[in-house]
Amino acid sequence: MEQLWGLLQRAQQLSPRSSQTVYQRVEGPQKGHLEEEEEDGEETLAHFCPMELKGPEPLGSRPRQPNLIPWAAAGRRAAPYLVLTALLIFTGAFLLGYVAFRGSCQTCGDSVLVVSEDVNYEPDLDFHRGTLYWSDLQAMFLQFLGEGRLEDTIRQTSLRERVAGSAGMAALTQDIRAALSRQKLDHVWTDTHYVGLQFPDPAHPNTLHWVDEAGKVGEQLPLEDPDVYCPYSAIGNVTGELVYAHYGRPEDLQDLRARGVDPAGRLLLVRVGVISFAQKVTNAQDFGAQGVLIYPEPADFSQDPHKPSLSSQQAVYGHVHLGTGDPYTPGFPSFNQTQFPPVASSGLPSIPAQPITADIASRLLRKLKGPVAPQEWQGSLLGSPYHLGPGPGLRLAVNNHRTSTPINNIFGCIEGRSEPDHYVVIGAQRDAWGPGAAKSAVGTAILLELVRTFSSMVSNGFRPRRSLLFISWDGGDFGSVGSTEWLEGYLSVLHLKAVVYVSLDNAVLGDDKFHAKTSPLLTSLIESVLKQVDSPNHSGQTLYEQVVFTNPSWDAEVIRPLPMDSSAYSFTAFVGVPAVEFSFVEDDQAYPFLHTKEDTYENLHKVLQGRLPAVAQAVAQLAGQLLIRLSHDRLLPLDFGRYGDVVLRHIGNLNEFSGDLKARGLTLQWVYSARGDYIRAAEKLRQEIYSSEERDERLTRMYNVRIMRPAPHLQFQLLLFLAFPHSKNSTPQPFDLKKWVEFYFLSQYVSPADSPFRHIFMGRGDHTLGALLDHLRLLRSNSSGTPGATSSAVFQESRFRRQLALLTWTLQGAANALSGDVWNIDNNF
């Protein structure tokens, strides 16, 4: 370009001088415009600036220019093409520079979308290492995580007394808070709740006696360990004949009735496992039983002689409240000085329950007569088959007492850089009835290690986009009391700001299989993270490769529903926050020492045959990489489309009852229409988002608002944005609100105080799909025609219509929320 420009200058020097038109800035009233000016002689350099073009001058007003020499004239003709070429080169260079700048800009972090390991993460403004990629964050996390001492922390924690409300727990609380305070956290604090907990009465221990045919109390059966009990059992004495009821499931009790053995008025002997203690007792109560005895069946645990097994003199601890939190303040937080209404949870049983050992169960089973139990009900305690009973009479006395007990949750927070008011929460139970190595020591150790690891990353310049909230829960062994009370106390805040909850409870119960008990929204993210973590017991394989090696359908092998006894359950079923709990388990065998005095570090180490450190490290890697994605991705990696598959699967179960309902003049068409609306709305929104420009903030806001129900303050921010889209006071960040899809499945048509678990798929109550299915099954049971059958055992058309309406309109509401504006919604079925 310089050579060509010089050529033009020399050509002009050889040609006769002529007057030239230049543009100069006009000062004064005409500032901002340019005027033409005649100039002879020297060339004048004109700056690029806004100009006002003049019309052509009249003929004769300017001197005629002489003809240029031929090669100079050629240069003049080539000038426009040269300028055009320069502009093209400049435009191409600008675009290339923009693409390169886009990936390394230190001041545009909020516009960087992290979706894969090939896309860079947003660095903090003062981060000294420069741009961080996903591989960099992984390497940094694994480097600091590898410096921890997980195994030592598990061992030391399991040696400490930490029953909720005990002096040992108070000391551990102080130690853990001090450990958090030593890390680079922005906030550390403790929340205290005063809750009603139930404990054995040392002066009046629980007892079990034989009763003869005349009703006289006879020999006492030793319970062997009076410390083992069922918190929240009904108090009192009951007497009845003994009946063996397998696991105490509804189908087990129905099978008993079908075989001529009625559970009503009797004491039931049931095995540990399959369902929770609370469900066993509730089912027994529903069938009219007087009380429940729960024992560990050796046949349900591993028979490997190289692995330790539970002693036959050990009973298993477990609460029997069918719910979570303090059952004496349902729906209300148990803060001090709170005035509670005089009401107890509907999940408290009205019949007593007591754990017993396998030795005592063996003595009871030998006394049973009646029909032989089905083959799948048989166990290994006797040399002969188990019988169903009835057997001799028993008298059970339960004398537990309730105590108002302070419990303390411990919190540590790393504030987010861009969205500090959005919380990614990770928690672990701290308390334990016994040593609790597997129950809570592993989770506590992993939690502390993750706090230390992320603190080290922060010290090295890392800062997450969203806040990380680390919590150590108290009162977990009594039914997730600490976590539920916290949720009840801050419900209006948490259902707006909590993004996801990750539970570390029961994380290591074996090493053969990996399970993720979770909400469907997290399934795709879990799949992605599994591909990044090495298997702890299959060298050279990731966890994902280990899973698909045995079952190509990885989610069928890994994904499980959230159980009520998990702290993660309340986050989803009560608050509407997606949650996950990871567990490594034994292959088709339960960990035998859970909730017993033998849940020690030594036994856990023996069960895993020395692989405890590797398995705990794998859980820490899973949780940590999940936290990085959830706290740092610009858009939350939650797959709301997954619920379309869930809706199809669950509501497809209703099809088998269509004929029975049609015969009664009833139909399921309403819920089918709502199902179709949700699936179409979810798929349409997914396609719009995936086909849109990911960096378009206006589209991002619009789509995210359709994925959530904005809270009042978010609605106000949205109005500001729509009215003043370029104002500094408008919404500063895009709404990352896919988490609200979970919220939409909380039924708005039932009271949170009466039915706290309002989730129509995961909750409990008449509003759920499960309750509707159970009701429809009565259409085919004999109870509908049985004289004297209870109302709950008979199909009722009015109840069915109400259940159908609750389910339909909750599902339709979720579809409407995803559909967008009201003019795009049609609620006519």
Q: Is the pLDDT of residue 42 over 50?
A: no
Residue 306, both tokens = 């190289």
pLDDT-above-70 percentage for the chain: 75
Domain ranges of the chain: 151-195+404-632, 199-402, 641-727+734-782+792-819
Residue 813's alpha-carbon distances to 578, 754, 768, in angstroms, are 18, 21, 15
Q: Which residues are CB-contacts of 497 (< 8 A; sequence separation ≥ 6)?
A: 421, 422, 423
The predicted model gives 347-375 an average pLDDT of: 95
Q: Among residues 741, 733, 726, which one has the least CA distance to residue 421?
A: 733
Q: Measure the CA–CA gap between 557 and 513, rounded to whole angstroms.
A: 9
Q: What is the pLDDT of residue 496?
A: 79
3-state DSSP of 594-660: CCCCCCCHHHHHHHCCCCHHHHHHHHHHHHHHHHHHHHHCCCCCCCCCHHHHHHHHHHHCCHHHHHH
Instruction: Please write the tens of the pLDDT for every residue from 439-494.
Output: 999 999 999 999 999 999 999 888 898 999 999 999 999 999 999 999 999 988 88
Please name the fold of domain 641-727+734-782+792-819.
Transcription Elongation Factor S-II; Chain A (1.20.930)
pLDDT-above-90 percentage for the chain: 47
Instruction: Please write the tens of the pLDDT for every residue from 628-638.
Output: 999 988 778 88
Query: How many residues are present in the chain?
Result: 829
Asked whether the domain spanning 641-727+734-782+792-819 has the same topology as the one spanning 151-195+404-632, the reply is no
Residue 686's alpha-carbon distances to 238, 525, 616, 699, in angstroms, are 58, 16, 36, 13
Q: Which residues are CB-contacts of 571 (< 8 A; sequence separation ≥ 6)?
A: 425, 483, 487, 498, 501, 577, 578, 579
Q: Among residues 550, 509, 442, 547, which one has the least CA distance to residue 273?
A: 509
Q: Which residues are CB-contacts of 702 (< 8 A; sequence separation ≥ 6)?
A: none
- Residue 510, classed as helix, strand or coil, is coil
Q: Which residues are CB-contacts of 90 (< 8 A; sequence separation ≥ 6)?
A: none
Instruction: Please write the tens of the pLDDT for every residue from 379-402.
Output: 999 888 999 999 999 999 999 999
> Strands, E, within 184-280: which ranges?
187-199, 207-211, 217-221, 236-244, 267-271
Q: Is the pLDDT of residue 760 over 90?
A: no
- Residue 777, classed as helix, strand or coil, is helix
Higher pLDDT, 368 or 806: 368
> Strands, E, within 653-699: which ranges?
none
The predicted model gives 428-448 an average pLDDT of: 96
Q: Measure the CA–CA gap between 4 and 78, rounded to whole angstroms.
A: 10
Q: What is the pLDDT of residue 821?
A: 63
Q: Measure the CA–CA gap between 704 and 690, rounded to whole angstroms.
A: 13
> Strands, E, within 265-367: which ranges?
267-271, 291-295, 353-355
* DSSP characters over 39-101: E-SS--PPPP----PPPPPPTTSSPPPPPPPHHHHHHHHHHHHHHHHHHHHHHHHHHHHHHHH
**How many Cα atoms occupy the beta-carbon half-sphere of 446 within 13 Å?**
33
Lowest mean pLDDT among 170-184, 301-315, 622-636, 808-822: 808-822
Q: What is the pLDDT of residue 538?
A: 84
Q: Measure the CA–CA gap between 802 and 722, rounded to whole angstroms.
A: 40
CATH architecture of the domain 151-195+404-632 equals 3-Layer(aba) Sandwich (3.40)
Q: What are phi and psi of 820, to 5 degrees?
A: 110, -130
Q: Measure the CA–CA gap between 679 and 646, rounded to whole angstroms.
A: 10
Q: What are phi and psi of 514, to 5 degrees?
A: -115, 130
412 Cα distance to chain centroid: 19
Higher pLDDT, 502 or 33: 502
Q: What is the mean pLDDT of the chain?
A: 79
Domain 199-402: assigned CATH number: 3.50.30.30
pLDDT band at 810 (very low <50, low <70, confident <90, very high): confident
Q: What are phi and psi of 803, to 5 degrees?
A: -60, -45
pLDDT band at 101 (very low <50, low <70, confident <90, very high): very low
Q: What is the pLDDT of residue 339?
A: 60
Q: Is the pLDDT of residue 134 over 70?
A: yes
825 Cα distance to chain centroid: 30
pLDDT band at 679 (very low <50, low <70, confident <90, very high): confident
Element at 508 (helix H, strand E) = strand 508-509
pLDDT band at 701 (very low <50, low <70, confident <90, very high): very low
pLDDT band at 71 (very low <50, low <70, confident <90, very high): very low
Q: What are phi and psi of 678, to 5 degrees?
A: -65, -45
Q: Which residues are CB-contacts of 234 (< 8 A; sequence separation ≥ 6)?
A: 348, 349, 350, 351, 352, 353, 398
Instruction: Please write the tens of the pLDDT for every residue from 185-234.
Output: 999 999 999 999 999 999 999 999 999 988 899 999 998 787 899 999 99
Higher pLDDT, 685 or 26: 685
